[in-house]
Amino acid sequence: MMLRVLAVLLLAALPAAAQAPARIAVVGVDVLTMEDGAQLRRSQTVLIEGEQIREIGSNITVPADARRIDGRGLVMLPGLMDMHVHLEADPAGWIGVFLGHGVTTVLNLRGGPSHLELRERVKRMELLAPRVYTSGPYVNRPAIETEQDAARAAREQKAAGYDLLKIHGPLGNMAFRTLIDSAHALHLPVVGHAPRNLAFDSVIAVGQDMVAHAEELIYTKFSALDSSALGDIPERMAAARTWLVPTLSTFHGIAAQWARPAAADSALKVPEAAFFNPDLVRYWTQGNPYSGRPAEGAARILRAYHFQLPLVRALHAAGVRLMAGTDTPVPVMVPGASIHLELAELRAAGLSTYDVLSAATRNPGDFLNQHIDRALKVGRVARGYTADVLLVRGNPLDNLPVLRSPVAVFTRGRYLDADRLSALRTHGR
């Protein structure tokens, strides 16, 4: 009797969606599935049930109880993913801003216990936010000196529940090797900077899973900005399946504000930064690590930026898999909005629009599935995949900027219309 009362009370407390999965049918929509190359499937019905894409096709019967959304004139594609973010400065208060810009998954590359808690709150859908994966604290010198330090860090971060390890500084050769081997034995991927005290070849040799910036090659491969020194690195990276998150827009942003405090100030005045809290504003102004640098370095930074465009193109051409990432909110990268800058940079580097879109959808989906969460299916519009999808007006294969103002976003099947997205962009929640 007692149990029955409890069950009734529990049911009453659950939101309606938990009782029977809500069904939504988007009808007449053109779909960029990211499964069949650079083309749209015209005039499809996409049936979403609960968090999942249940059916997709041109001849689907819409169940009577499903909510119908007119998709005519719209394109559906997978939600975007930002594979290098830093959820700092009270992120629960602003993390929703990512959804407003069409970003449905983020990879946080410096985490602590508060990020594990944030990740779980998002999982339970207590916060309107993109899916979060997070590394733990940085694993490099001085915290990691010996092989024992490396093995212990891998064990401890695994036990704490982090999704991956992040390198952000120098490492001894043996400690580096032990770190990667210990992490892999625990099914933890290792990503981040190249240990800049070592040659880039060691990143490939020990099997680091992902390099978090294209600029890492500059520090560890080239004594001068001479692309002929690249040698067979692209082929070897591809063969070793070393992923790359180029963060070209981040570096471009650094070049733009180098020795120019006014640049950061004006970046704060864009409407996309309206939701910034005082900590974020301080980080971009008083705490800005770039704007106070001596002016004579500016030309060198700009040259290093221009050097990276053909570098990324060469790596891509050799088969190195790329993922979009922004390092947001490092100045002047606005959370959410900055993903569109990175897509433009990858296009400027010479990738096709389809390959650019892959870097923000199916590639991160594959990376997360292979390295972090075997049950995760995101990054494609296909039956059985999570309904993390966007509706946009216009074909992004012809015009990437149509992604900047999504008409609707589905996050794990939850429908956010244009008004909701606009509120998220302005207030972050």
- Find the helix packing angle between 298-317 and 338-348, rounded to 10°: 70
Smallest distance from Zn ion to CB 110, Å:
7
366-375 long-range Cβ contacts below 8 angstroms, 24+ apart: 366/321, 367/83, 367/210, 367/243, 367/321, 367/323, 368/105, 368/107, 368/133, 371/164, 371/189, 371/209, 372/133, 372/163, 372/164, 372/189, 373/133, 373/163
What residue has token string 């020990």?
206
Smallest distance from Zn ion to CB 327, Å:
4
Q: Which CB sits closer to Zn ion, 51 or 327?
A: 327
Query: By C-alpha distance, which of 212, 219, 145, 221 is closest to 179?
Result: 145
Q: Which CB sits closer to Zn ion, 327 or 388?
A: 327
Smallest distance from Zn ion to CB 86, Å:
6
Q: Which CB sits closer to Zn ion, 30 or 216?
A: 216
Smallest distance from Zn ion to CB 379, Å:
22
Q: Which CB sits closer to Zn ion, 231 or 289?
A: 289
Smallest distance from Zn ion to CB 420, Å:
29
**H or E element in which residue 132 lies:** strand 131-134
Q: Which CB sits closer to Zn ion, 56 or 248?
A: 248
Number of chain residues interacting with Zn ion (CB under 5 A)? 2
Smallest distance from Zn ion to CB 359, Å:
17
How many CB atoms are located within 10 Å of the residue 10 CB? 9
Q: Which CB sits closer to Zn ion, 41 or 213?
A: 213
Token pair of 129 as six digits = 């936010």
Provide the β-strand partners of residue 191.
166, 210
Length of the chain: 429
Which residue intervals of 258-409 are DSSP H helices? Answer: 261-268, 278-284, 298-317, 338-348, 353-360, 362-371
Q: Which of residues 100-119 bind Zn ion (CB under 5 A)?
A: 109
Q: Which of residues 296-355 bind Zn ion (CB under 5 A)?
A: 327
Three-state SS for 145? coil
Q: Indicate whether 30 belongs to the interface with Zn ion (CB under 5 A).
A: no
Closest residue to Zn ion: CB criterion = 327
The residue ranges that bind Zn ion (CB under 5 A) are: 109, 327
